[in-house]
Amino acid sequence: MVFELRETGRAAVLFEGWQETLIWSCLQGVMGKIYADSLEDPVSAMAVLGDFCFLAGKCNREFVLYHPGQDMRDFMIMVPQDKDWADLIEECYGEKAKRVARYAIKKEKDVFDREALQKAVDELPGGYTLKMIDEKLFWHCRKIAWCRDWVLQYEDYAAYRKYGLGVVIVKEGEPVSGGIFLLQLYGRDRDRDKGRLP
């Protein structure tokens, strides 16, 4: 059986060592959800945020086949913790499953190349403008299918303002490219006090 885990810290050990901000967001209750095979002592779990589902712990077919809140999407990006999970995904979905390389953003300090970013901004063609996502753009992006994922994981603009930072390139007031970054500060002591992490 698959349960939505409210005391997310009970599953934290299953995700230990996985350096993924999406998982941290789920464990801290910022965004997304944690599902587990037990409310008390889980051995299998999944962190779900948007299109992403991170499978951890003991392999469990029911988790691979379970798709919570997927009413708007016809796919899910399943990220297996290990080869056993990957094999189970392929076993369950056959030809529908497709292995792809996933690239991650570096999280280390001082790896961001400000000069390269400034050069990209300076070379934008005429009519294109770089703009921070404000409240008007936030709600506008939620209405556009191809870019709604930038803001859909935030309950409202107040949550986005607290935890997100987004930049878009607009032309004639319409987004043509962009991205959102999670600004959550991951303080284990604070979250331990809230019962979200062990």
**Local structure of 123: helix, strand or coil:** coil
More confident residue, 114 or 3: 3
Task: Say what the pLDDT of residue 63 is.
Answer: 95
Task: Say what the pLDDT of residue 187 is.
Answer: 44
| CATH number of 3-103, picked from 1.10.390.10, 3.40.630.110, 3.20.20.70, 3.40.640.10 | 3.40.630.110
- What percent of the chain clears pLDDT 90, i.e. is strictly above it? 54
**Local structure of 179: helix, strand or coil:** strand
State how far the Cα of 194 lies from the Cα of 188, in Å rounded to an integer. Answer: 10
Domain 3-103 shares a fold with domain 114-182: yes
- Indicate whether 96 pLDDT > 70: yes
- Indicate whether 31 pLDDT > 50: yes
- Indicate whether 84 pLDDT > 70: yes
- Indicate whether 81 pLDDT > 90: yes
> Tokens in use for 124?
């934008």
Contact between 164 and 154 (Cβ < 8 Å): yes
Q: Band of the pLDDT at 50, cuts 50, 70, 90? A: confident
> From the CB of residue 165, how many other CB atoms can be counted at a distance below 10 Å?
13
| H or E element that contains 151 | helix 149-152
Q: Band of the pLDDT at 192, cuts 50, 70, 90? A: very low
- Long-range contact list for 137-141, CB < 8 A, 24+ apart? 137/166, 137/168, 137/170, 137/175, 138/166, 140/175, 141/168, 141/175, 141/178
Contact between 44 and 58 (Cβ < 8 Å): yes
Q: Is 125 exposed, middle or buried (0-12, 13-18, 19+ CB in 10 A)?
A: exposed
**Averaged over 99-108, what is the pLDDT?**
74
Give 117-175 pLDDT, tens digit per residue: 889 889 999 999 999 999 999 999 999 988 888 888 788 999 888 888 889 999 999 99
Q: Is 148 exposed, middle or buried (0-12, 13-18, 19+ CB in 10 A)?
A: middle
- Indicate whether 195 pLDDT > 50: no
**Averaged over 6-21, what is the pLDDT?**
92
Contact between 102 and 79 (Cβ < 8 Å): yes
* Domain 114-182, CATH: 3.40.630.30
Task: Say what the pLDDT of residue 185 is.
Answer: 46
DSSP 75: -
* Mean pLDDT for the chain overall: 85
Sketch the domain layout of the chain as residue ranges.
3-103, 114-182
Task: Say what the pLDDT of residue 69 is.
Answer: 66
Order of strands, sheet of 3-5, starting from the edge strand that comes earlier in the sequence? 3-5, 33-36, 44-49, 52-57, 77-80
- What percent of the chain clears pLDDT 70, i.e. is strictly above it? 86
Task: Say what the pLDDT of residue 70 is.
Answer: 53
